[in-house]
Amino acid sequence: MPQAGDLALKVSIDGIVVHVAHSAGMQRPLARLLADVTEFMTLHPGDVLMLGVAAGAPQARAGQRFAVECAGIGTLEGALVGEAPAGARSSFEATP
């Protein structure tokens, strides 16, 4: 990933692109974040540094599907489900 400092992130909800962001727009570039954070905590293989979200992040409701796509990295897909109301909760929470 030679261009990790400039990646496009595309968010879709129910198949429609609703948000596009670029990692080049970060306040602090990746190298700076790694330098800052490793001054006080050791990062090990498998640790994850999440770089934050761009302005204008879309909202999604229970029942909708989302996809977050980053060219060269992959597409992460999932669905949102509602939480059962308090009175209906059980030790295992059924999904629709």
Partner 1 sequence: MKAARVAYAGALHEAYPHAQGLQLADGRVLREHVVMWLPPFEVGTVIALGLNYADHAKELAKELTVSAQDEPLVFLKGPGTLIGHRGFTRRPAGAGFMHYECELAVVIGATARHVRRADAMSHVAGYTVCNDYAVRDHLENWYRPNLRVKNRDGATVLGPWFVDAADVPDPHTLLLRTLVNGQITQQGSTADLVNDIPALIEYLSSFMTLRSGDVILTGTPDGVVNVNAGDEVVCEIDGIGRLVNTLVGDAAFGR
- Residue ranges in contact with partner 1 by CB under 8 A: 28, 36-37, 40-42, 44, 47, 86, 89, 91
Q: Contact 65/10 with Cβ under 8 angstroms?
A: no
Q: Residue 42 CB, nearest distance to partner 1 (Å)?
A: 5
Q: In terms of CB distance, is 42 or 59 closer to partner 1?
A: 42
Looking from the CA of 8 toward its CB, the CA atoms found within 13 Å total: 5
Q: Contact 11/67 with Cβ under 8 angstroms?
A: yes
Q: Residue 35 CB, nearest distance to partner 1 (Å)?
A: 12
Q: In terms of CB distance, is 14 or 36 closer to partner 1?
A: 36
Q: Give the whole-angstrom CA distance, residue 57 versus residue 84.
A: 26
